[in-house]
Structure 1
Amino acid sequence: MPNYVLSCCSTVDVTEDTLDARDIKHIDFNYELDGQWCKDDFGRTNSPAQLYAKMLAGAEAKTSQISAGDYAEHFERFLSQGLDVLHVTLSSGISGTYNSALAARDLLAEKYPDRKVVVVDSLAASSGYGLLVDRLADLRDEGLGIDEVAAWAEEHKLEVQHWFFSTDLTFFIRGGRISKAAGLMGGLLKICPVMDVAPDGSLAVKEKIRTKQRAIKRDLQIMEELAQGGLDYSGKVYISQSECQKDARELANEIEAKFTHIDGPVRIWDIGATIGCHTGPGTVALFFWGKSRA
């Protein structure tokens, strides 16, 4: 048995049961909905449907990173048991939580001189972050030590490909990621922006494609171009979605028909509250192992 725990944040956008089954510990993000603080706790506080209904009705949603104090409390649960901690954070390109985790590590160093907390910036988001943590759990289960797993993560984390498209630009406009003029024109022309996560972990608009069907086809084409092994890709594929299960399933069906060697069926997850507060409903995100984004 390893003498360390693998840990992440709830923003990995898989299910809590999945994390529990893989013995991956987690800490919940927070968000504010019309002045009320809520936990991004895998939909227990607000299911995705409830969250988006409230947002569409005009509720103001704001996200909040995990504090250094909360991280310290989370890490200490394990350090006090004589265990080290490998914690993987949401991308520093979209959240300051990486720095909070580092601050917590430093706060605890004097109290637990014989223990270590290793913090890795995933430079990933949503279920792409989940895909990375899942691979690290494989390596831990193979017997790799905490430093070996952390080193592997640093070397390979940019190989996680993220490709998003959205059919509803409302909350991208509200959050300032797309201008009102561009959003209005995009709505009229049925434009679905195709986005990825840049090497610095930030979200970047790559292409503007008309119609959802073309965006789905473009995601499929991108995967063929970038996946490790091309059409012979044999890794896992994750898709996350915000209240557009039908679109996500259509993309998954296309992938399963074209990439016949993938590891199991395509896993479809809900986009959690933290990411969902920024995307709103109508977003589909595709994740797979591919060429490095560096």
Structure 2
Amino acid sequence: MADYVISCCSTADLTKEHMEARDIKYACFHYELDGKEYLDDLGVSMSLPDFYKAMENGAMTKTSQINQSEYMDYFRQFLDDGKDILHCSLSSGISGTVNSARLAKEALEEEYPDRKIYVIDSLAASSGFGLLMDKLADLRDSGMDIDTLAAWTEEHKLEVNHWFFSSDLTFFIRGGRVSKTAGFIGGVLNICPFLNVSYKGELIVRDKIRTKKKAIKEMLVKMQELCKDGADYSEKVYISNSACYEDAKAVADLIEAAFPKMNGKVEIDDIGTTIGSHTGPGTVALFFWGKKRED
């Protein structure tokens, strides 16, 4: 058994069951729904269908990251148990939580001079972050030591490709990511913003695709263009979605037909409450191992 833990933020958007089965520890972000605070605890405090239903009914959301004190309390439970820690944070291009984790690490290294604490900026989000963590669990279980695993993570994390589209611009407009005028025109023309996560870990709009049907097909095109080993792709594929499972399943069906050697079926998960507070319902995201993200 490894003498260290691998850890992430709840924003890796895997299920609680998945996290527990792979022995991946996680620290929870916070969010507010109509002024009431909840933990982003993988659907335990509030089911994700109920969360998205509330958003559809007009509920206002607000998110907050994990602060230094919370990270210190969270890390201590492992350090007190004699474990070293490899913690990956939500992308610094989306959140400043990695800075809080690093401050906690610096403070705790003085208290626990014999323990190792790695804090790594994943430059990933949602189930792309989850795909990275699942790979780290594989490598840990294969016997890789924490120092080698930390170096591997830094070297390979940008190989996780993220592609998103949204068929509902309501919450992009509310959050200021899309102007009201552009949102109105986009709604009339059935335009779906097509985005990815850049090498800096930032969400970037790459295209504006007219109709959801075309956006679904473009997901397959991107994977064919960028994935590891082309048609012989043999790694896992994850998809996350916000209250639009049928759209996610349509993408998964295309991927499974095109990549028969992939590792198992496409895993479809829900976008969690932190990321979902900003996307709202109607977003589908595809994650796979492929070409390293570059400028």
In the superposition, the TM-score normalised over structure 1's length comes to 0.98
- Superposition deviation, residue 272 in structure 1: 0.3
2:126 paired residue number? 126
In structure 2, distance between residues paired with 1:55 and 1:213 = 24
Describe how 1:1-294 pairs up with structure 2 within 5 A.
1-294=1-294
- Superposition deviation, residue 48 in structure 1: 1.7
- Superposition deviation, residue 9 in structure 1: 1.1
In structure 2, distance between residues paired with 1:76 and 1:192 = 44
Q: Which moved more, 1:105-114 or 1:51-60?
A: 51-60
In structure 1, distance between residues paired with 2:235 and 2:221 = 17
In structure 2, distance between residues paired with 1:235 and 1:278 = 29
**2:107 alignment partner AA:** L
**1:106 alignment partner AA:** E
- Superposition deviation, residue 58 in structure 1: 2.1
**1:206 alignment partner AA:** R
**2:136 alignment partner AA:** L
In structure 2, distance between residues paired with 1:187 and 1:291 = 33
Q: Which moved more, 1:80-89 or 1:54-63?
A: 54-63
Offset from partner CA, 1:73-110 (integer Å, 9 cap, x none): 11000111111110011101101110010011011111
In structure 2, distance between residues paired with 1:21 and 1:54 = 30
- Superposition deviation, residue 178 in structure 1: 1.1
Aligned length: 294
**Structure 1, unaligned stretches of length 5 or more?**
none
- Superposition deviation, residue 57 in structure 1: 2.1
Offset from partner CA, 1:233-278 (integer Å, 9 cap, x none): 1110000001100011111011111111100000000000000000
Q: Secondary structure at the match of 2:111?
A: coil
- Superposition deviation, residue 43 in structure 1: 1.0
Q: CA RMSD in A?
A: 0.8
In structure 1, distance between residues paired with 2:56 and 2:216 = 25
Q: Secondary structure at the match of 1:37?
A: strand
- Superposition deviation, residue 116 in structure 1: 1.6
Q: Which moved more, 1:99-108 or 1:46-55?
A: 46-55
- Superposition deviation, residue 36 in structure 1: 1.0
Moved over 4 A (4+): none
**Structure 2, unaligned stretches of length 5 or more?**
none
The share of aligned pairs that are identical, in percent, is: 60
In structure 2, distance between residues paired with 1:56 and 1:264 = 33
- Superposition deviation, residue 285 in structure 1: 0.3
**2:17 alignment partner AA:** D
**1:253 alignment partner AA:** D
In structure 2, distance between residues paired with 1:166 and 1:184 = 14
Q: Secondary structure at the match of 2:8?
A: strand
In structure 2, distance between residues paired with 1:18 and 1:210 = 35
